[in-house]
Amino acid sequence: MPEHPLASPLLAGDRRALARAITLTESTRPDHEAEAQALLSELLPHTGRSIRVGLTGVPGVGKSTLIEALGLHLADGGHRVAVLAVDPSSARTGGSIMGDKTRMPRLTVHPGAYIRPSPSRGTLGGVARRTREAILLCEAAGYDVVLVETVGVGQSETQVAAMTDLFVLLTLPNAGDELQGIKRGIMELADLCVVNKADTDPKAATRAQTELTAALRLLTPRGAPWRPRALQASAVTGAGIPELWAAVGAYREAVDIAARRREQTGAWFDDLLREAAWRAFQAGLDPARLRELRGEVLAGRLTPVQGVGTLLSPVPT
Amino acid sequence: MPEHPLASPLLAGDRRALARAITLTESTRPDHEAEAQALLSELLPHTGRSIRVGLTGVPGVGKSTLIEALGLHLADGGHRVAVLAVDPSSARTGGSIMGDKTRMPRLTVHPGAYIRPSPSRGTLGGVARRTREAILLCEAAGYDVVLVETVGVGQSETQVAAMTDLFVLLTLPNAGDELQGIKRGIMELADLCVVNKADTDPKAATRAQTELTAALRLLTPRGAPWRPRALQASAVTGAGIPELWAAVGAYREAVDIAARRREQTGAWFDDLLREAAWRAFQAGLDPARLRELRGEVLAGRLTPVQGVGTLLSPVPT
């Protein structure tokens, strides 16, 4: 099989080759898609050798500064750090994770780091798929830490948790009051909770940490290989950053990451197949009739079983 | 349209007619299925006038005794109470919710109560569908409180939460220690948590209530119309049962239940349609080829996108 021209430079760690390869996977042109899959296929044996860390938190929690602080700590320690983002809103608004170079000015210029904004096209599913592929490309380029940030729009946290080895929820010191609008279901995804900006109110930060610890204990099934932890950190002072990385290390020791990845890959395969099934099926449906019957069901005039049955039965002539 | 012979007696509250109608919906004979849908269609205008309460908790938490205590409290107060169960394991094992008449001896003989064990056939999806239909039939028969119990196997809690107006998680006084193996994601479904058997260890029960209250506060998004509460109860002494019912009442005041039901109905319709799509699609797949390609993906030799693409592309001849 002829080698793709980007393969060699990318494997050698060339950032421009990596950037061009990611751009190729983001293209929706059918010839680009085929080319991207061929390139990925070639690089697949060189992937998987990073720790994939997902991070989320509501706006204002200090995601960028914390990711920059963690990234600098790691890059200064000899790691090669890639930062990716999943922001499905960027398709509509041009991106709420904008100007990544401005957001993380010091990490951007660090030779050991690579920062890539969210793909700005497509549905959440499309953005998630492209981010999964970007993870693989970063790994092939030799990045051994991949940080995937999500802005927490819609289902993006679930998607990011499903493509990373561990998932970190960032909160603020006054988290105990109401957790600032964290969505239902997000706490349950967290392997680590970090009370960020702990320096702004140390007493509140300690209280938040205690409450989060109790909540995480309640949420963790007995016998789980990993008990989620709550930590404190401050991106500004740097406090807690080494401890955060140490917790990631403890997690890697405790959890069978290869098994988790196999499960994620299988689930991704199954999702793609179900999506294909749905698209094929939808092509044969009359949208007006679908709307009408769904309306009848919502109005309580048909049960859902009857509505679906009527929709799928041949139209009487 | 000719009236189904069970319709009139069922609407008049005849329990034997209700039992026979539920049995009809549980049948997998195609002519029975059509007959059941016709009956449901006829009864649909008479449904919806109950409060639907889902309950879950690990084995040993005292679900049966609590449901019996609550049911007796309500039936004695003039309510008509139906108790249904979702136990997908019953398809294999003959049911871990067995012998409902033995489990709730006093409620079983109460004239204001109707108890029905889990349908013992079919997948979780099938059991869930039949339970949804049983809820409608109970409502048409004049039951104004429907309690739906789940044993917490697999995804049954999610299914029960998706068919009820509010969802109650039962725990034990030592819940604070580890919540006894409650699965990930279940706490997030809870609109109420009840520390059952509070009489056995009042101090631990109060501590558990405090910890659950803190956890629920953390899990509830700001601005939510209802803030989940943690209560204490004892099925044996009867303490806390009126308070549990009062909390259900407060929930009904706070939440737009009609909107929640419309959402549930829409989601059920969509699920049925996706299931139909999947079945139609699967019929055209070669299972051996599917297994082979999924294996290649899990082994890391193909990306999921490539695996699905190869599976769906025509076999080269």
Integer Cα distance of A156 and A164 in angstroms: 12
Parse chain B into domains and list their residue ranges.
1-45, 47-256, 268-312
pLDDT of residue A1: 55
- Angle between the N-to-C axes of helices A257-283 and B257-283, in degrees from 0 to 180, rounded to the nearest 10: 90
For the beta carbon of residue B210, count every other beta carbon within 10 angstroms. Answer: 14
Between B134 and A157, name the one with better pLDDT.
B134
> CB B178 to CB A281 under 8 A?
no
> CB A308 to CB B269 under 8 A?
yes
> CB A218 to CB B304 under 8 A?
no
CA A174 to chain B, closest CA, distance in angstroms equals 11
Partners of B307 on chain A (C-beta within 8 Å) are: 269
Q: Is the pLDDT of residue A232 over 50?
A: yes
**Nearest residue to A150 via CA among A124, A113, A172:** A124
pLDDT of residue B94: 43
Q: Mean pLDDT score of chain A, rounded to an integer?
A: 87
pLDDT of residue A94: 43
- Of A5-19, A113-127, A131-145, B169-183, minimum mean pLDDT range: B169-183
> CB B304 to CB A269 under 8 A?
yes
- Domain A1-45 adopts which CATH fold? 1.20.5
pLDDT of residue A186: 81
Partners of B40 on chain A (C-beta within 8 Å) are: 303, 305-306
- Tell me which chain B residue has its CA closest to the CA of residue A274: B278
Pick from B185, B274, B301: CB nearest A278: B274
- Tell me which chain B residue has its CA closest to the CA of residue A179: B218
> pLDDT tens digits for A49-63?
999 999 998 777 889
Pick from B218, B221, B302: CB nearest A212: B218
pLDDT of residue B55: 95
pLDDT level of residue A216 (50, 70, 90 thresholds): confident
Candidates A305, A310, A313: best to mutate against B (most CBs of B within 10 A) is A305
> CB B309 to CB A37 under 8 A?
yes
pLDDT level of residue A96 (50, 70, 90 thresholds): very low
- Of A98-107, A136-145, B37-46, minimum mean pLDDT range: A98-107
With 0-12 / 13-18 / 19 or more C-beta atoms within 10 angstroms meaning exposed / middle / buried, residue A215 is buried
Q: Is the pTM of this model over 0.90?
A: no
Helix (H, G, I), strand (E, B) or coil at B226: coil
ipTM of model: 0.80
Domain at B47-256, CATH class: alpha beta
Per residue of chain B (317 residues), give pLDDT as tens: 568 999 999 999 999 999 999 999 999 888 998 899 999 999 999 999 999 999 998 777 888 999 999 999 999 999 999 999 887 665 444 444 444 556 788 999 999 999 998 776 667 777 888 999 999 999 999 999 999 998 766 678 888 999 999 999 998 887 545 454 566 678 888 999 999 999 999 999 998 898 888 888 877 777 788 999 999 999 999 999 999 999 999 999 999 999 999 999 999 999 899 989 998 888 889 999 999 999 999 998 888 988 998 998 876 55
Partners of B300 on chain A (C-beta within 8 Å) are: 44-45, 47-48, 265
> pLDDT tens digits for A167-190?
999 988 875 454 545 666 788 889
CA distances from B185 to A189, A215, A234 (A): 9, 13, 29
Q: Which residue has the tokens 């390869």?
A: A21
> CB A219 to CB B214 under 8 A?
no
> CB B302 to CB A265 under 8 A?
no
**Nearest residue to A116 via CA among A126, A124, A95, A125:** A95
Q: Is the pLDDT of residue A207 over 50?
A: yes
Share of chain A above pLDDT 90, in %: 58
pLDDT of residue A103: 79
Pick from B37, B44, B221: CB nearest A184: B221
Partners of A154 on chain B (C-beta within 8 Å) are: none
- Tell me which chain A residue has its CA closest to the CA of residue B176: A218
pLDDT of residue A184: 66
